[in-house]
Structures are given as structure tokens and as C-alpha cells.
Copies of this chain bind each other. A is one copy, B any other.
């Protein structure tokens, strides 16, 4: 068997069955192998940032990794931004990068670049295949690195000759390790804090702990002890909607976060780091946590946060919590189309078990609170702050779970970094309804401009934040990429279009003009 076939066989043996890819010459044997190895699906993306974002979305829903296949250093360069987000989401990703044939590197051919240095900025494990005999083992080691809890980006650099030469046998099957429970003393310490009766305790939920089990346990703790609960902004997947314990996210802006934590005297971290401001501004500190606040770790990022919360709840005798009774919201039928009415409509119309890929940026603050009273769903928020994640993540989520409806809530500015994802939705017939919230600004920059203390904004500065002149026509763009699309300029149009699209299989896009 060729090296490429060995690579594919090792992936399949390890239940890695999907590869988001944008191949080039050095990856041709891998591509040819798709017809020679069964149980493996190649998904073509027209730009590498779609590959990496899709692998992130896939991992967040499936739990295990997808592979991505990239062409040399520039291909990896295009994928870096969404690999950055995947790293912050702690998503396992097997990143395969083709390299020039070994003897060719010294000639410094035009596409030669330092792939290892690029990979090192996002990847925990980096291996370069160094012999045909060891190829299978290298693949297995890469998979093991990706699977290491809590999940990592692992990169395998494959010189072209090791793809076309005969290889040794496929690599071993890597055991999938479960997260372990944190030490018992962590449980006891946390329980002691919560039982002490002081009202300054807060829990920060991150990583995998924002699942229904974790939220249920923390809901019981909140009911029993009054502890305040916040969700870390980099948590990769949030259970939300009616019947779900609803904790606010750590506020984005440092003043709001400082106010929220002002009287917190003890912060308990569950698969989370202590909160930190996204940016530093001239007049705010980096940390919103009071200096006198005690910080303790209940579960480290590679441990079982939900299990730990259940153990603490047990220890505290926190047996139940009652969800606030919530009536099913009714979609508003008339009125202006605003972020608030979009939120109300989504709350009413989001189907049970929907997956929401959220890259609303500045619009999220208004829309997201409405979703807490929608039917139960999962949210996949932006994790690393690098723009262009939302549509690719929706692609990956829809591949991982074709029977659930994926709703991508996307800002217009951010959509333009990886719009190519729509074509893959069309090619694969993915069950994704994309809503573009078109305010025709980089609105977040309007806000940040004021916050950074920049002087008054003149015409030239304004031009750098204005997405008009010309307006982006997302209906035309979407159709150009093969995804049916409609434009909503009134609330009535929006609810009507959303209701129709949510009931149809396959992709659709609604441009909501705000």
C-alpha cells in the first residue's frame, strides 16, 4: 500500500472518517486514496479557513476529531485563523499538511516555506514523517496528540514522496481516554466554600462543563447555596433554551465584568481560566477579578467538570433545582426588523435540538438573551475571537449531525472572511440555515473606537468601519455559491422566510437587513 493509503487506513481504524480538504499537487495520492479506502469521506472546501473551521465545528458536536488536508505552508497559513479558534475551543483536530518531497526541499522551490514554525503557533503536537516504515506510527502518534484531553490541534507534515512510496503497516488504534475526575480534595474544598454560607462565591464554567449534566448540577448548587454562576466566554458548546439552567456569560467589556465580580470573594474554576479582559483599554485593567478574591480550581481543563459539579452537588446535598416556568414564546408578526425582534422571532421559531453557530459579534448582546426561552438547543460560540468562524463551524456541525438543523447567526462583516463555506453547504446538501445580520458596518469597531479613547472619528476613519458603498448583496452572493437565499427587510418577511426555510432540508440563507 502507498503511504497515502496507510495514512487513510490509520485514520479510519481510529474512527476518523471525515476530512475537510483543499488539496494540491503534494496531496494527490491522498486524494486518489479516497476511492481505495472505504469508510472515509472527503469534503471539498474552496478555501482552507473553511476546512479548519469546519473541523472545529465537527469536533464540538461529534466529540472526536475530523482531519483536515492542506497544501504546504500557504495552505496552512490560510487555515491558521480558524485553527486559533479551534485551539481555544480545545477541539481535537488532525491537521495533515503536505510538504515537498524530501529531496526537493533544499532547492527552495517557489512554494517552500517553514511549515513547522507556522504549525507551532497553533498546534500542540507536530510531527514530520521521516520514513515510509514509520508513517503509520506517526499518524497514530498524531491522533494520540489530538485526542489528549481536553483535545488539541495535532499536525502531521507529510512529504510527498512518503505518500507515493510503499509504506509500512497502518498505525495502531489509539485508545480514547475519558476525562478523569479531579482529586477528591478539590470536590471537598469547593463544597466547603459553597456550604460556608458566605454569599461571595462564584463558579466559572468552561470547557465541557456547559453541557446539560454540568448545567443541571450547577443549577442545583445555585438553588441550594446561592452561588453565582458564569459561563466562560471561550466555552465551545453551550446547552441553552427552555428547561436548561441559564447562567450568564462573563461580560465582554471589562467594566461590566468588574461590576459583575465586584463582591465575589471566592471564584471556583471549572475547566476554565480566571476571566480576563478581551482587550486592554487605556483606563481599565486586564483582569476584572477583585485583587482580594480567592481563586480555586475545581476541575482543570482536561478533567471532568460536569462530574465534579455533580460530586460537589452531592456533597452539598443539592438535590434539585426548578427551572423557571417559561411559556413558549410566540413569533411576533408585525413591527420593525431590529435585533430585538429578530431575537424574539428566533426564540419562537428555533426548532428542538437546533445547533446555533454564533458569530453575531456586536449583535449577539441583544439577540442571545432571547434564545434562553427558545426550545432546547446547543450554541457554538466564537472562542478565540478570530473572525470568520461562524459559517465554517456550521458546515462541520452539519456534517457531524445531519439530522439536526444548524442555524448560523452571522454578522455581515465576519461572514466575508470565509463566505466560501456556503458552497460546501450546497455541495454537501447540508442542513444549515444562515441568517446574515446585515447592519452594514463593522459595528464592533464603532464601539471599540470609543473605548480605546481614540479622538473623534472623521470621514476617512469612518470609511474603514463602513461596509456600505457598495452594500454587500448577500442574496446575490449566496446564490452565486449555490445556496438559495432571500432578503428580509421587515419582521413579517423575516419570520415568514425563517419559518419556511427551517422546515426545508438543505441550505438556505436569509439576509436580514437591519
The chain A residues found within 8 Å of chain B, CB to CB, are 21, 23-26, 28-29, 31-36, 42, 44, 46-47, 49, 73-75, 77-78, 80-81, 84, 88, 100-101, 103-104, 107-111, 113-114, 117-118, 120-122, 160-161, 164, 233-234, 273, 276-280, 282, 286-287, 383-388, 413, 416-417, 419-420, 423, 426-427, 444-445, 448-449, 451-461, 463-467, 469-482
**A31's contact among B84, B88, B103, B461, by CB below 8 Å, is which?**
B461
Q: Which of B278, B454, B475 contacts A28, CB < 8 Å?
A: B454
Cα separation A332 to B122 with both chains bound (whole Å): 53
Q: Are A74 and B81 in contact (CB under 8 A)?
A: yes
How many copies are assembled?
A: 2
Which residues of B lie under 8 Å from residue A479 when comparing CB positions?
A: 473, 476
Are the C-beta atoms of A164 and B113 separated by less than 8 Å? Answer: no
Q: Which residues of B contact A385 (CB under 8 A)?
A: 74, 110-111
**Given contacts A117-B121, A477-B480, is CB(A25)–CB(B464) below 8 Å?**
no
Pick from B233, B417, B470, B478: contact of A47, CB below 8 A: B417
Q: How far is the CA of A161 from the CA of B281 in the complex (A)?
A: 8
Contact A286/B107 with A73-B121, A117-B120 known, Cβ cut-off 8 Å: yes
Indicate if the CB atoms of A452 and B80 lie closer than 8 Å.
no
**Shortest distance in angstroms between A430's beta carbon and chain B's nearest beta carbon?**
13
Q: Are B420 and A416 in contact (CB under 8 A)?
A: yes
Contacts of A273 in B (CB 8 A): 108
The answer to whether A480 and B472 have CB atoms under 8 Å apart is: yes
CA distance A461 to B33 in the complex (A): 8
CB pair B279–A457 under 8 Å, yes or no, is no
- Contact A28–B476 (Cβ < 8 Å): no
Q: Is the CB of A460 within 8 A of B49?
A: no
Q: State which of B427, B454, B458, B471 has its C-beta within 8 Å of the C-beta of A164.
A: B454
Given contacts A23-B445, A469-B427, A482-B471, A386 and B80 within 8 Å (CB-CB): no
The minimal Cβ–Cβ distance linking A299 to chain B, given in whole angstroms, is: 19
Q: Please determine whether B482 and A35 come into contact, CB atoms closer than 8 angstroms.
A: no
- 28 A/B residue pairs, CB under 8 Å, sorted by A: A24-B445, A25-B448, A31-B464, A33-B461, A35-B458, A35-B461, A42-B463, A44-B464, A73-B84, A74-B384, A77-B78, A78-B388, A78-B417, A80-B118, A84-B111, A101-B279, A103-B286, A109-B276, A109-B277, A109-B279, A110-B384, A114-B120, A118-B118, A160-B280, A164-B452, A423-B470, A472-B481, A480-B480
Bound Cα distance A475, B479 (Å) = 10
Residues of B within 8 A of A280 (CB): 100-101, 103-104, 109, 160-161
Q: Decide if B121 touches A114 in the complex (CB within 8 Å).
A: yes
CB pair A107–B32 under 8 Å, yes or no, is no
Q: Give CA–CA (A451, B458) in the complex, Å.
A: 56
Provide the residues of chain B in CB contact with A25, threshold 8 Å. Answer: 279, 444-445, 448, 451-452
Once the chains bind, are A110 and B34 in contact (CB under 8 Å)? no
A464 and B110 within 8 A (CB): no
| Contact residues in B for A449 (Cβ distance below 8 Å) | 28, 31-32
Is there contact, CB below 8 Å, between B481 and A477?
yes
Known contacts: A448-B25, A449-B31. The answer to whether A276 contacts B77 by CB under 8 A is no
Inter-chain contact A74/B84, CB cutoff 8 Å: yes
- Tell me whether B464 and A23 are in contact (CB under 8 A): yes
Min Cβ gap A59→B in Å is 18
**Which B residues lie within 8 Å of A100 (CB)?**
279-280
Q: Tell me, rounded to whole Å, the shortest Cβ–Cβ distance linking A315 to chain B.
A: 31
Asked if B74 and A386 make an inter-chain contact with CB atoms under 8 angstroms apart, the answer reads yes
Task: Give which listed residue, B24, B114, B455, B473, contacts A36 with CB less than 8 A.
Answer: B455
CA distance A73 to B423 in the complex (A): 27
Q: Is the CB of B164 within 8 A of A453?
A: yes
A161: B residues at CB distance < 8 A: 280, 282
- Tell me the smallest distance from the CB of A80 to a CB of chain B, in Å: 3
Contacts of A103 in B (CB 8 A): 280, 286
| Chain B min CB distance to A75 (Å) | 8
